[in-house]
Chain A
Amino acid sequence: MAQMNLLQAINNALDIAMAEDDSTLCFGEDVGHFGGVFRATSGLQEKYGKARCFNTPLAEQGIVGFANGLAAQGSRPVAEIQFADYIFPAFDQIVNESAKFRYRSGNEFNVGRLTIRTPYGGGIAGGLYHSQSPEAYFAHTPGLKIVVPRNPYQAKGLLLASIRDDNPVIFFEPKRLYRASVGEVPEDDYQLPIGKAEVISQGSDITLLGWGAQMEVIEKAAELAANEGISCELIDLRSILPWDVETVAQSVMKTGRLLISHEASITGGFAGEVAATIQDECFLHLESPIARVCGVDTPYPLSLEKEHMADHLKIFEAIKRSVHY
């Protein structure tokens, strides 16, 4: 075991993936010698050469289109989009191409080896265009897998699973935690399952569900609740698509209550999907309406970031409302 921050864990996973398979490539804006603006790909060009780890021209549409071509050819591209806010120029390539390659060709062709990594989320004073959490747009697209780790250990295991998965995966990295989150990470190879949620701690009064950087906020809220004698069960969804209905439903049947929290705006966010499914699965077990604590329905502002965010206090208040419904 070694102490690693989230970036080091990602770098380590990429290193393992490139070492085991010559056809694994890492590329994107500034990804080459510089190692990416966050340094997630540091040292990889030196180790595996310029042909396998390189800078691309500044064109997200080009990066993902190129990666689609590589994946269709049988290579294993791991493409970096510098910020999740800038994934939208590649939206067409992802939604119309990556997601539909296999289906439209009757499995004659596929881009299953594609992985797109991208830093997402707020809390870094990044304003409108360096703070977005766009997972819900992609969750509306059949054919993609969407994974969001919450700490270094999860990041390494889930990234290796994503790279080896035979479907296109979008891997959202919580950039607020890149250097802030440090933990024990095994140095050797391991994988964590995609599509499986993790119950982080057991509780009896309410289930709190989230993913990525939001887990930290939810944990803080659970501590406040514990001081008031409320016992929370914490679940990290880990993958948005496919998502683990069973684990969440089992928990809600036990606690009778569910609160979902994400950073993105509430309307059309993935919490809505979870709420609809769980009320379907657990209707007779629910003791209060399923609560959603999410971002305000505005773009992500700079100066009123705190007001916009689904912070621990807003979650704490919602926990109390739910429990005392």
Chain B
Amino acid sequence: MNARTHMPKKYPSGAEVHSPAFIDGHSVAIPILKILKEDGTLYPSADLPELDQAKAEKVYRAFAFHRVLDERMIAAQRQGRISFYMTALGEEATTVGGAAALEPQDMIMAQYREQGCLIYRGFSLEDFMNQMFSNEKDLGKGRQMPIHYGSNELNYMTISSPLGTQIPQAAGYAYGQKLQGKDAVTLCMFGEGAASEGDFHAGLNMAAVHQAPVIFFCRNNGYAISTPSDEQYVGNGIASRGVGYGMKTIRIDGNDVLAVMKAMQLARSYALEHQAPVLIEAMSYRLGAHSTSDDPSGYRSKEEEAKWQAHDPIARFKTWLINQKWWDDARDKTLYESLREEILAAVKVAEKVAKPPVEDLVTDVYDQVPKHLEKQLTDLKEHINKYPEAYPFTAGRF
């Protein structure tokens, strides 16, 4: 058989050389998109995203809500009111900016630190609280740990703790959107740590081979719990992998919300028009602890953290808004004050709402409760009736 006749259409190509020349990830120099400077002014000739005053204000309000929510919930965790929390301190531009560049019909499949997307989409303060207090009004019925949000109405897929699992799922979801001719894409967010999982490689390859309109968005924030990114991967970041899988790829400053929005808007129109995947790598820094169970002083210095404080995405955007005369300090102060009050009040309401009823233990395992679970529930109720004081959340409610 002649190998030539079986040569694939896109046979890997390049110049012919006659003495060996190895290449590595750094042979492909990957530029980084920056639009807004640290001081709140624009880089000369920078290409702005589509953004009017109303949208800019919506983005900023989401930022403020995010900051106050994170600050209050950390405090609530320290007071023992909730068991766990994760902030996205310093990374808000990736998620708020990401969602702001999408349409409501676009699906978002996130990892866990992406509450900014939900804030932008208008997940209510009550919904946030009900999830974190795992009460009977939680859309997820109190089954998962705090921060595992999900909303069908807002096209935000419920978070699953195992890392990377959403990546191939996003490829499949987007492929389904494509087959059904939907005017929608899927945004899949994950950390640079999760990009080491097998699911990342499987997911990108599936999306590339089957040309799914999915935007893979890596929040490269420098750490996976205590593991710094230089112990996570070698090579030119995550972006070089997008190139390897044959998809359109871009690296951006993740602390620059205008760069995030610009890249996302282009990625969305590309993914829709070409019905093909895109990879975005957003360079940022996880300013806070990994979670409330973590203590970063065990693995990094205060100086390093302080250095990154200066790259705060929110302060930068605020200065720009003020320069635009779209915002001012007085409105800023009022906004933060009212958010603090609202969130504090919402905590007090949510913590008093009852826990889910005992029936919720056995529903949703299957579409209908099978016989064996019905029996287990009956036995459980009988047992609870015998020892009501041992099961204070459910006793006396059936």
Binding site for B on A (CB under 8 A): 29-30, 32-35, 37, 54-55, 57-62, 85-86, 88-89, 125-130, 267, 296-299, 301-304, 306-308, 311, 313-314, 317
Contact = CB atoms under 8 A, between A and B. Distances in A.
Contacts of B360: 301, 304
B225 A85 contact: no
B361 interface: yes
Contacts of B134: 302-303
A85 B194 CA distance: 16
B224 A128 contact: no
Contacts of A30: 224-227
23 contacts: A34-B225, A35-B298, A37-B225, A57-B193, A58-B193, A58-B196, A58-B227, A62-B198, A88-B162, A125-B145, A128-B143, A129-B161, A296-B361, A296-B380, A297-B365, A298-B362, A302-B144, A303-B143, A303-B356, A304-B142, A304-B360, A304-B394, A307-B380
A306 B390 contact: yes
Given A57-B232, A57-B233, A127-B144, A304 B198 contact: no
Centre residue among A29, A59, A60, A296 by max chain B CB count within 10 A: A59
Contacts of A59: 196-198
Interface of B: 83-84, 134-135, 142-145, 148, 160-164, 193-194, 196-199, 224-227, 231-233, 293-294, 298-299, 355-356, 358, 360-362, 365, 372-373, 376, 380, 383-384, 386-387, 390-391, 393-394
Contact of B358 (A37, A127, A304, A317): A304
Given A297-B376, A304-B356, 19 more contacts: A34-B226, A37-B226, A58-B193, A58-B227, A59-B198, A88-B162, A89-B199, A127-B148, A127-B161, A296-B362, A296-B376, A296-B380, A297-B372, A298-B365, A299-B365, A301-B361, A302-B145, A304-B361, A306-B390
A33 B390 contact: no
Contacts of A34: 225-227, 298-299
A129 B162 contact: yes
Given A58-B193, A125-B84, A267 B232 contact: no
A307 B391 contact: yes
A32 B228 CA distance: 11
A69 to B, nearest CB: 16
A299 B143 contact: yes
A301 B393 CA distance: 14
A317 B144 contact: no
Given A59-B196, A85-B161, A307 B358 contact: yes
A164 B134 CA distance: 44
Nearest to B359: A304
A33 B297 CA distance: 12
Contacts of A296: 361-362, 373, 376, 380
A306 B197 contact: no
Nearest to B163: A58
A35 B298 CA distance: 9
Closest 3 interchain pairs by CB? Answer: A303-B142, A129-B161, A34-B226
Say whether chain A's binding surface is mostly helix, strand, loop, or mixed. loop
Say whether chain B's binding surface is mostly helix, strand, loop, or mixed. loop
A129 B199 CA distance: 17
B197 to A, nearest CB: 5
A306 B372 CA distance: 20
Nearest to A82: B225
A313 B231 contact: no
A88 B299 CA distance: 28
Contacts of A308: 361
A85 B372 CA distance: 25
A128 B144 contact: yes
Contacts of B226: 30, 33-34, 37, 55
A88 to B, nearest CB: 7
B145 A317 contact: no
A61 B202 CA distance: 13
B383 to A, nearest CB: 6
Contacts of B199: 89
A119 to B, nearest CB: 13
Contacts of B294: 37
A302 B356 CA distance: 10
Given A55-B227, A128-B143, A129-B161, A303 B355 contact: yes
A33 B160 CA distance: 28
B120 to A, nearest CB: 26
Contact of A58 (B145, B197, B386): B197
A187 to B, nearest CB: 26
Nearest to A318: B383
A29 B225 contact: yes
Contacts of A311: 390
Contact of A313 (B193, B361, B387): B387
Given A33-B226, A58-B197, A296-B376, A307 B394 contact: yes
A301 B227 contact: no
Contacts of A301: 142-143, 360-361
Centre residue among B376, B384, B391 by max chain A CB count within 10 A: B376
B140 to A, nearest CB: 9
Given A129-B162, A296-B376, A313-B387, A89 B197 contact: yes
Contacts of B143: 127-128, 299, 301-303
A303 B227 contact: no
B25 to A, nearest CB: 15
Contacts of B194: 58
Centre residue among A88, A298, A313 by max chain B CB count within 10 A: A298
Contacts of B84: 125
Contacts of A89: 162, 164, 197-199
B375 to A, nearest CB: 10
A307 B357 CA distance: 11
Given A128-B143, A317-B386, A32 B231 contact: yes
Nearest to B224: A58
Given A129-B162, A301-B361, A58 B232 contact: yes
A178 to B, nearest CB: 13
Nearest to B384: A307
A129 B160 contact: yes
Nearest to B145: A127
A169 B235 CA distance: 34
Nearest to A317: B383
